[in-house]
Structure 1
């Protein structure tokens, strides 16, 4: 079976250098394997998403030297490639999960959830671990609470451990109880990232997911969803985030590090690719290189080694 990967940005801002590394790495992985690469726009968070950012992100990827076989504009066999146009699939998945007894309504107020944040629970990509306040409510209690508040919908995590081999981090093991039940549909009707990305990757036949290490603990949650939906899970690999010299991860708020600002400053795409390649360990020295020239050199960087955007590298990038 031909391998299929994807890059799925959220159009809530411009792509920065860290996003560029994730996009380049996922593209190189699939091109090295002779597979198919998909671009999907993850605009499920409608209040934060902007069409102009989606357009800018696609222009930036093309400038960087990244192409895709299927996407929002050219379409493909799994269209549409924009999450806001795929909500019927998420609703159908919720119905299947509900029929399987894997969901329950959560009536917790903001103050109750805020109290969880101050309790000594673990933190994760989903925030504080939810202790299951609403999991065992009686039918009468649910009816009483439902008369006052529209509930969020939570997915019941299995209690047994979830283990998988990550393509960059190695073997990982998580206790389902330690991760907590998570929201798959908010009270305002918005579907969660965890549900949408799982449904989309399964429906689009994605075989390989390469993304940042901040989403590593999303993987056991998504694996539990794949199992509950009876879908084949892809192989996962999580690479380090790009941080500045103080250890702070790059943010979309830092406008000087966006691809658009670098392009406007006259930085050639091959120079940015060269910087990314050196940071990731694909080249021994700083040199200009095209994305296509790196296909043979790709190897996922291990997430135990931080990738730091140093002042020296920035000086070289800007040719100062």
Structure 2
């Protein structure tokens, strides 16, 4: 009997991510047929499930046929479920997606009682968190949604150091392309390690891509609405070599040290000192990716006098050494 996988989605889901999942499992079926030509059964059978079974479409109008919850026997005949993602720009857009998922949420909770794999990736993890199934368990999501996630679901132990996390039988994965890593993990879970290894080679999926940390760039995402802290951040970004103390910063922006630290941490989740270190690492990452400067020169240019301290800070923020980061992300021209 094939392993049945339901991909849960509604309108505005990222269609490309859904198709990628389906085709990854289809590749498993094709590979299985090449090594077991006598077999008449598929390994995996995927279906897209929506609340009413209506076709779903993305913002570009691309449509996918779906089955309704009733057609899928409220998921109870499935071997695994995956919550698809959507593009989320703010809490309102997430609330709209979550509302469209309301009819499915209870079905996910019921499915958990069967002790079968439940998974989500990118913004789909926030939908899972809304069911309460992730409470007091470890999970990950798209790194650029982490601030919203922790505000909405502080009871979930959110971690950004892994691309896929398994806890309590639930698999969570990072941003959109992490669904490939999630698919590999599910192939391993529902079939075996050998098949997952073969498929990773066929599809050029790096099975050792385990951390999101090298990809995180907080400058890409606005983090808060505190105008004072935004001005402080802008000041710090103008000169990352500046070593102004908390006292000097508070005097410059006419606020007490205690208030500055409190508001800064509330807005960004970190202290001004920690934020300065992260700014320097982000600048160093850009220089490592785009230039041939030595690591020592880059260290000096972003405000570090001690190369050892720079290497430690860089590794703490990216999980890679500066040289390893260069080997992985340095942009090379195509010949």
Identify the TM-score tier after normalising by the shorter chain.
Answer: under 0.3
Which of the two has higher C-alpha Rg? 2
Greater RCO (Cα-Cα under 8 Å, separation 6 or more): 1
Q: What TM-score do you get using the length of structure 2 for normalisation?
A: 0.27
Q: What TM-score do you get using the length of structure 1 for normalisation?
A: 0.28
